[in-house]
Chain A
């Protein structure tokens, strides 16, 4: 096979990696390059160095080591049976690219994944080798996210955790039953076991309060996973239940939702249509409601119809419209938990209100200055100078505050 030049490889292997939505470079241990021999820093907040026209950020150099793969997952652009062009980086090529990009301030670090070549162990070894070289030979202190190959020996996972900030194994299919049909070589049990191992090691690396010696750091930015939306027929409620189960079981920092997107040389086993971007957005909102607003999966379920979230309005508003009896909420006296359930009020707005109301009684204009738009909030609150009266229970409330419903997402045929 002819040798591809490096730019061509980069093009193939970045294209092959882009269906993984994870981009975070935040939440790891703080460190910088002072006193070191290399470059790199992480300061808590991640940095998005660019945005592509798909609205996604470029934070890490997100590439595959190779897109050769012995698996044949029908949703994947890199499956064995796909006729896409194949390429493979050498370990040194990835190391050099990462450093060259980093020095020019293009990226926060590296997100390296790979197709499965030869075996899970061999593939994982190669990934670990890249991270090890960056850390040990180049004293690179930027962010590294490594993909876990679930079938790999737990010892390799352990080693990966020493070099990487974050590890991730993707569940991809929310519905277990679909796995056999769409990803016949994958075993969801093996993926979960790999995640369980990571959680146990992350917890073991957490220093005891009075421990004298700190255990070595293990993946300080934790682990994440991705669920594909719209490939296996799972409704939103099933996806949310799956997420809740993963967050609870494996201490995940994030579950990413990735709208199933058409790929070059798609399999005939899946419908090829434009990705359900709005659905993906609503799932992220529901995910936020679970993690930051105290909503349980069944409560989010109340905001669905036939298991699907409303595409026209956000899930919190949908929930509140079904639960009018809980409103209006008095912003001057209500507990934080109740304020968090008011449509249009975010965590920051609520925190600010709670802080301000210790010094003055809130009026509607105060609330308006503390949130992003008062229209959605107004029917659900009372303030010193405002009470919604019959508005809260108005039959046409949804029509009054919800934006014009957009036409259904276009499906090409």
Chain B
């Protein structure tokens, strides 16, 4: 049996140094033993040990380690040959490395309160020799066990961040905050940094049975374990906290198992609010019944008028005819002629001079247009603006709108995918497009793409065949057709894009000539 003595319960550096020596010496897990100083029950075999320095390469070592070879010459591996048979000498290692994942897990596992944690850690270290990938096989029983304990430790640390309750005390140096806390595992040092980062400008202490820590605003120091009576007994703000806790509880949704899963009973005695739990639970049923059974009271009559004043007029007149563009905008917001309003943010109406000679009609607002409430402000709008400029048309002179006023799309995670409106939706929305044309009275209406053409002309057209032609409308104005600029965005081939863009600009120039 090879025994190493660790300076204290969480002496990772000591454990590491000893475990390294053990493995180099070929000490099998069953033969390795780690004991904590002061708790070594069977150490009569060995001479008493003195606090020593960590033997690992780490310079920040806090505790010392004394293995059973404390008296052996420093040149040896550090482990006394208790039994030559322990050395399965066949392939003695000179030195070795371990995956980072092992060190990380082991650093947590050592904080676990289980007595056999050192053995588990050493067993893993030993098995890593033949299975360097062991830590990745999280279904392995030893690895799963270690991960589980590391998780418990991590959870204990998280719960410490959650459940420490400071109480205010005044001393000669001013205000200080003191907490008594009993962590599920030995996580005080691991967790203290959190409180430093959060409460940098406060003076505080956290006292636990394992040890205590103090922050004076500049430095963090650790001390020995403490007793509950070392912490202050009360703090007047606690009454406010308990009031809050009781009031934020909804008695109609009793779920005590969920509560206990997240706030285990072991913590309750140090949580001031937990004292209220029994009475809150006991009264919840009756409180709910009272609410459920209570007859609704008559509302204050005086309020009825006040309420009515703020009621929104959500009515919608199917046959609404606008006499101004502003009225038309309101009409579109209330529109229920097709179901597209439901998933859109808002109806997007046209924009531009009231007497514009040219009206450009797109398909429908896209994602950006839907958010902003303005037409052609997204990527396709960018393409259109540049092409208009190349064609010598000032966008500020153009009334820009869409055949369909609401954004048709399909949600896909955090995005919305454009969907082409169907004929019935386009037809329903002609109600508004026709009114826009009636109010603006453009000399020329340019429809971008098939949907816009359907909206403007009321019939299906083949854009590539009919583009560029000047068609006379019923009111005597001219309509013409070209592609939609988003078509240019979708072309994968650079050469095709350049060619198509030139054709688009030519169409726009032709439109300019019509004005």
Interface string of B266-288 (1 = CB under 8 A from A): 00000101100100110010001
Beta-carbon contacts under 8 Å, A346-366 to B: 352, 355-356, 358-360, 362, 365-366
Interface string of B237-276 (1 = CB under 8 A from A): 1111101111111111111111100110000000101100
B284 touches A53 (CB 8 A): yes
A residues less than 8 Å from B76 (CB atoms)? none
A274 within 8 A of B: yes
B177 touches A103 (CB 8 A): yes
B414 touches A366 (CB 8 A): no
B30 within 8 A of A: no
Partner of B241, one of A101, A265, A365, A367: A101
Q: How far is the CA of A37 from the CA of B202 in the complex (A)?
A: 10
Q: How far is the CA of A283 from the CA of B486 in the complex (A)?
A: 37
Shortest CB distance B371–A (Å): 4
A54 touches B254 (CB 8 A): yes
B409 touches A80 (CB 8 A): no
Partner of B307, one of A47, A52, A81, A370: A81
B201 touches A33 (CB 8 A): yes
A residues less than 8 Å from B515 (CB atoms)? none
A249 touches B343 (CB 8 A): yes
Partner of B250, one of A33, A56, A71, A180: A56
Q: How far is the CA of A63 from the CA of B167 in the complex (A)?
A: 23
Chain A interface residue count, CB cutoff 8 Å, equals 101
A369 within 8 A of B: yes
A residues less than 8 Å from B274 (CB atoms)? 50
B residues less than 8 Å from A49 (CB atoms)? 162-163
Partner of A62, one of B248, B254, B312: B248
B residues less than 8 Å from A48 (CB atoms)? 162, 262
Q: How far is the CA of A369 from the CA of B140 in the complex (A)?
A: 8
B201 touches A106 (CB 8 A): no
A196 touches B311 (CB 8 A): no
A352 touches B248 (CB 8 A): no
A275 touches B271 (CB 8 A): no
B346 touches A53 (CB 8 A): no
A244 touches B411 (CB 8 A): yes
A residues less than 8 Å from B300 (CB atoms)? 81, 83
Shortest CB distance A142–B (Å): 8
A259 touches B253 (CB 8 A): yes
B161 within 8 A of A: yes
Partner of B277, one of A36, A53, A63: A53
A103 touches B249 (CB 8 A): no
A249/B166 contact (C-beta < 8 A), A41-B198, A54-B259 known: no
Partner of A52, one of B196, B248, B299: B248
Q: How far is the CA of A180 from the CA of B334 in the complex (A)?
A: 12
A residues less than 8 Å from B370 (CB atoms)? 196, 249
B residues less than 8 Å from A275 (CB atoms)? 252-253
Interface string of A57-75 (1 = CB under 8 A from B): 1100111000000111000
A277 within 8 A of B: yes
A72 touches B137 (CB 8 A): no
Shortest CB distance B75–A (Å): 39
What secondary structure prevails in chain A residues at the interface with B? loop
A391 within 8 A of B: no
B162 touches A249 (CB 8 A): no
A residues less than 8 Å from B411 (CB atoms)? 244-245, 247-249, 297
Interface string of A1-13 (1 = CB under 8 A from B): 0000011001110
Chain A residue nearest to B277 (CB atoms) is A53
A residues less than 8 Å from B248 (CB atoms)? 14-15, 17-18, 52, 58, 62
B413 touches A248 (CB 8 A): yes
B226 within 8 A of A: no
A133 within 8 A of B: no
B residues less than 8 Å from A43 (CB atoms)? 194, 197
A264/B307 contact (C-beta < 8 A), A52-B248, A105-B164 known: no
Partner of A10, one of B168, B240, B372: B240
B414 touches A272 (CB 8 A): no
B345 within 8 A of A: yes
Shortest CB distance A263–B (Å): 7
B166 touches A53 (CB 8 A): no
A residues less than 8 Å from B254 (CB atoms)? 53-54
A265 touches B307 (CB 8 A): no
B292 touches A272 (CB 8 A): yes
Interface string of A28-45 (1 = CB under 8 A from B): 000011111111110101
B252 touches A248 (CB 8 A): no
Q: How far is the CA of A297 from the CA of B306 in the complex (A)?
A: 41
B250 touches A18 (CB 8 A): yes
A176 within 8 A of B: yes
5 new A-B contacts, CB < 8 A, other than A11-B246, A103-B199, A189-B333, are A33-B198, A57-B262, A184-B310, A266-B294, A369-B139
